[in-house]
Each structure stands twice: as structure tokens, then as C-alpha cells.
Amino acid sequence: MPATIVQTNPVPFNRVAIDPVTLDIIENALRNARIEMDATLVRTAMSPGIREQGDAFPLIADHTGKMIVGQFGSFIGGFLDNFDGTLEDGDMIFLSDPYSVDGAISHSNDWLVLLPVFKDGRLIAYTSMFGHQSDIGGKVVGSMPINARSIFEEGVRIPPVKIWKKGEYNDDLMKLVMHQTRKPDWCQADLNALIAACRVASRRVIEMAERFGDDVYVSATQDLLARNHRAMQALIGMAIAEEPVSFEDYICDDGMGYGPYKIKCTMWREDGRVILDFAGTDPQSQASINFFLNENMFKMFFGIYMIMVFDPQILFNDGFYDLIDVRIPEGSLLKPKFPAALSGRTHALGRIFDILGGLLGQKTPEFLNAAGFSSSPHLFYSGNDARPGKKGEWFQLFQIGFGGIPGRPMGDGPDGHSLWPGFTNVPNEFLERYFPMRIERYECAADSGGAGLHRGGNGIHMTYRFLSAGTISIHDDRWFVPPWGVNGGEPGQRARKVLERVDGTSVIVGNKVEDVEVEAGDQLHFITWGGGGWGDPLARDPALVGKEIVQGLVSPGGARDYGVVADAAGVVDTAATEALRAELRAGRGELPLFNYGPGIEALRVACESETGLAAPIQPVWPHLEPAE
């Protein structure tokens, strides 16, 4: 049964005309309210993932549940259709189970609160926020087991429940939930931060309605939705062809020895609407790399990509959803069947953006981006602190790594950046103060960005020295299938991880490993991948390449990928450069639109010699075989 909205004032809102100035004021006030939600969060949360890195996402919706400002699109319509209960003034919903909201949050570490905003007896808006909790129980520290076979192994699952009911806090529920986590102090503070952020936005909405009037505020939200609909309709007609185009990319492996896993999407325009069909995507994995992709979330991803490429001044919201039809096969990697594990969904989530770029750029190569840092690699480090004054204290770190943004039409990709624009790095001083580790190196991995007229951004080489014995886990990707280049650009270099033991030995570790024991003095070299290059590398300014040698972004050997001959001081040999470029041009064919590297089978053959790791085995899906 759908949710019942209890309103003591039955008078409906009236749609009134809004002048441009008033609309602009309300639009920017809503933008500011979202920013204030973020500011409230970072001042209240405790975990490094939320407080330092900003792994949380706000939303302000209209009275029907459509997102007006936010990032991931609104889940509220689906929630209301499936929540068998009432929503009243003073209620607040709390949940973490992806299957209960059709994947609007994509793994159980994301705790979400939803606040229906009432004014004078009428529901006028919703505010919501979710954030990644560093630990929610389960079989491993950090609650993201690589080898989980079901969601039941990944920690506490919270269905939609009322954390506040008619203004009364459900303290018993919170005691039960916090009893499941290894870090109840962090989780309680982070949850309080989510609640506080939603309440701040609620106050701002009510203030706007009081200033302008309820009907004006509500009508303004509808005008913003309608404006976005008109803009997106024009962009779709301009940029999307009726002839289908397809694109596919891969997740390297599942951490269990199998891979790569294919994600495929086909796009076309039909009767003024965009069809995005994921037929051809591999079936769900038995491990935790599945990504329960909510259709509305993907519509928002598509809209954000369209807007940022073609018209970045548009405020993106949910107003255009009826213009997009998303089709995801049941039982696929992107719509796994319950109770499939979901905690490792980061890589498929990020790869969606590469696929969108590949789809949208085929007909307009001048707007095409290369493949970039399409994941959020994780490092977990936990144990009992051996430092003086902290001896025996439990610690656990969850950190998100950064890498290379792709080469783009307007220039080079940024070095050492996050997939998510709003994320920030955990300061090294913070890590060294609160965890038993020392950061020996934090620098760009030279040459990791793909060569091109516009260079792909470099990945990061970060070296951790562990000061206490403990265990580490790593979740990363793009170690097997490289990030592709476009318009003649070269693929970026792949990720790698090296554990240098205190006894002098070194071992290459996988990019998806669990519970690796480390001793005090061991060092981990955590090297992320670079973005693909854009355009012909031989057209890049040699003087710029020489400057980047001095900056440590390109090595003298890597400069030869651009046909540039230079020494370690960045001094370019002009005659030798011209000769090398002539030789390279003569020996190559037509520049490809997409440069994927040597292909999957060739990568398998060369995998161990190139990476030091065994090649993943072609996935099989015995769980899809008919029962005898």
C-alpha cells in the first residue's frame, strides 16, 4: 500500500504566476540551503569519510517528492509507493536497506534520513540526506566484504522506520542499531549530523514560504521543474540521434578471481524521449560488486552529464524524468535479485559515467571525454594501537583514494582528483594524528595519465607506513582493463598496489583484497590509475611537455609518448623531437575514436608479466543454470 500523508489542512496549493526575480531568489535560496546542509554535516559528523571527505549527499524536494536541488535524484516517489504507513508532522524516516527503496541508496553503509516538511498543516517539501557509515557490523571491519555472497553478510539492514514519530525520538531503535557497529560513537555522531542537516534545510524552506507565501513557494518549485524539462527536451533533440548507439565497458574483477564483468548500454531517441537500454550487461555476480541501479538515479546521472557538457548553467532537478526511459534487465549486474551482496558496488557505479561519456560522445566527438577515475577506491586499516598513550585502543580507518580525471575537449584532466566533485582529501596530518601511520609519499604518479593533445590526469602514488600491526583491505579497479583514450589519445596507466615488508621483501597485492596482515614498519604503495588522453599526442606543445617534466607530471621516458625528446631538466631537443614525431606518424595508422588498448584476450595473456597478478578467469554464472 502507498504511504498515507496526514495533513490537518486540506486546502490545496494554488498555482500562481512567478516573476523572474522572485524565481531567481527562491532558486538561489534553495542552492544555499543545500550548501548549508553540507556545512552543518561537516561541523557535526565524526567519521573521516563524512567529516573530512564529504561522503554524504543532500536533497531538497517539492511537496510531491521531486528533487529541486541535490545530486542523485529523488527516491521519494518510489518510497511513498512502497511505504505501508503514515507520514505526519513530526515524523522522520530512517533507512539503509537498498532493496527497500529500489536502489536509491546502493549499499547498506549508506544511512539515509527523510524529513517531510509540514507548514500550517500541509506538506510543503521534503528534505533528505544520506552518508556513508564507516562501519555497520557484518563479517569484516568496514562492513564491505569482497567475498560476501549475500547482503546479510554486510552488516545491519534498516528498513524504512520512524526515527522520530510525531516529534518523539525512538531511543530504543537507536540503541539496537548502534549495538551492531564497531564504531557506535562515529555512527551516532554521523546520524545526528544527517538529522541536523535535514532540519536546517526544513527551516530554510519554511522561511522562504513565510516570506513569499506558500503558493508562491510551491509554484516556484514547479516552475523550476518545468524549466528544466524544457531545457532537457531541447538538449535531447539536439544531441541524441534516433539511430541507436551502443557502448560497453568493464569491471576488472570481483575479488574472487573472476572477470572482467561487462556493462553495456544502448541509447536512442524515440518520440522525443531517450531510451537507455542495458541489455547485454552481464548477469549479477555471486560476489559483492553488484550495483542496484535505481532508474531515477541513472536518469539524474544522464541529465547531469548532458547539462554539464552542453549547458552547465541549468539547475538540474527531477523535472525531465518523463523524457527518459531506462531499461535494466532483472538479474543483471545492475539489477541483482535479493539477497545479492551490494557492498562493493563502487566500481560499477563509477563505470556508469564512463559509459555515459562513450554513448553521448559518439555522434559529437568534439564533446567526447576519455575514460577517467571512475571509482572510489577504498583503503581499510584496523587493529589495536601500539603508540604510547594509545596502547591497546581500537582503531579503524576507511579512506577514499583519488586518481586522474580524463582528458577533455577543453584541456587536460586534473591530477589526483575524486570521481565526485564535492569530495575532499583526508589531510595527511589528520591521518598521522588519529591513526598509527605515517604518510611517506603523496604525489602524482608520473606518466599515469594517458598521452594526448590534452593529457589525462595522473593518478596518485600514496605510501603508507604502518606503525601498528593490524589488517588492511583494498577495494580498487582498473588494474586489468585500462581507462581508454579518445580522438587519438592513449589509455591511462592502470592501478597497482605493492606491500613492502619491514624485512625488505615486497609483494604485489591485488586491487580487491581482504584482511591482509601487516606489521609495524610495513609500507603500502597505493597507486591509482590515470585518466585516458584526448586527441593526438603528437600535437601537444613540446614546451608544455618539457615543463611537465620539471613538475614531475611526465618523465623524460614518458615524454616520448608525445614524440618529445627532452632531458630530466625539461630541456627539449627540437630537432630530435621533430624527427621522432615524423617517425611515429609514419608508423601509425588512422587515429581511433576510442583507444581501448590491446583487447581483453591480449590483456589476459600479458596480465601476469605486466601486473604481477594472475589474469582473472572469464565469469560463469552457475546460479543461473536451470535446476535439475
The least confident of 78-92, 170-184, 426-440 is 78-92
Q: How many CB atoms lie within 10 A of CB 247?
A: 19
Whole-angstrom Cα distance, residue 6 to residue 182?
A: 38
Q: What is the mean pLDDT of the chain?
A: 94
- Is residue 291 within 8 Å of residue 350, measured between CB atoms? no
Cβ count within 10 A of residue 412: 25
User: How far, in whole angstroms, is CA 320 from its chain's centroid?
Assistant: 22
* Range 270-275 contact pairs with CB under 8 angstroms and sequence separation of 24 or more: 270/242, 272/233, 272/236, 272/237, 272/323, 273/236, 273/322, 273/323, 273/324, 273/325, 274/236, 274/240, 274/302, 274/323, 274/324, 274/325, 275/325, 275/327
Work out the burial of residue 614: count CB atoms within 10 Å of its CB; fewer than 13 is exposed, 13-18 middle, 19 or more buried: exposed
Could you give the angle at which helices 214-239 and 20-44 cross, rounded to 10 degrees?
90
* More confidently predicted of 78 and 503: 503
pLDDT at position 310: 66
* pLDDT value, residue 528: 97
DSSP letter at 283 equals: B
pLDDT-derived band of residue 11, with 50, 70 and 90 as boundaries? very high
Q: 181 is written with which cell numbers? A: 557497529
Position 374 scores a pLDDT of 87
Q: Where are the domains of the chain?
A: 4-232, 369-540+605-610
Q: Name the residue type at position 199.
A: R
Is the bond preceding residue 491 a cis peptide, omega within 30 degrees? no
AA identity, residue 288: S
Mean pLDDT over 602-625 rounds to 88
Pairing of strands 324-327, 378-384: unpaired
Cell of 265: 548500454
Highest mean pLDDT (candidates 43-52, 213-222, 386-395): 213-222
The predicted pLDDT at position 627 comes to: 37
**pLDDT of 329 over the 70 cut:** yes
Q: Is the pLDDT of residue 26 over 70?
A: yes
Q: Are 142 and 380 in contact (CB under 8 A)?
A: yes
| Grid cell listed for 404 | 586522474
What span, in angstroms and rounded, lies between the C-alpha atoms of 277 and 291?
A: 16
Contact 291, 334 (CB under 8 A): yes
Residue 303's pLDDT is: 87
Q: What is the DSSP string of 477-499?
A: --SSSPPPEETTPPPPPPPEEEE
Q: Is the pTM of this model over 0.85?
A: yes
Q: Kind and range of the H or E element at 443? A: strand 437-444
Q: What is the pLDDT of residues 544-555, one digit of tens each?
A: 999 999 999 999
The strand order across the sheet containing 512-518 reads: 394-400, 378-384, 470-475, 512-518
pLDDT at 625 over 60: no
Average pLDDT over residues 416-437: 89
Spatial contact of 201 and 127, defined as CB atoms under 8 Å apart: yes
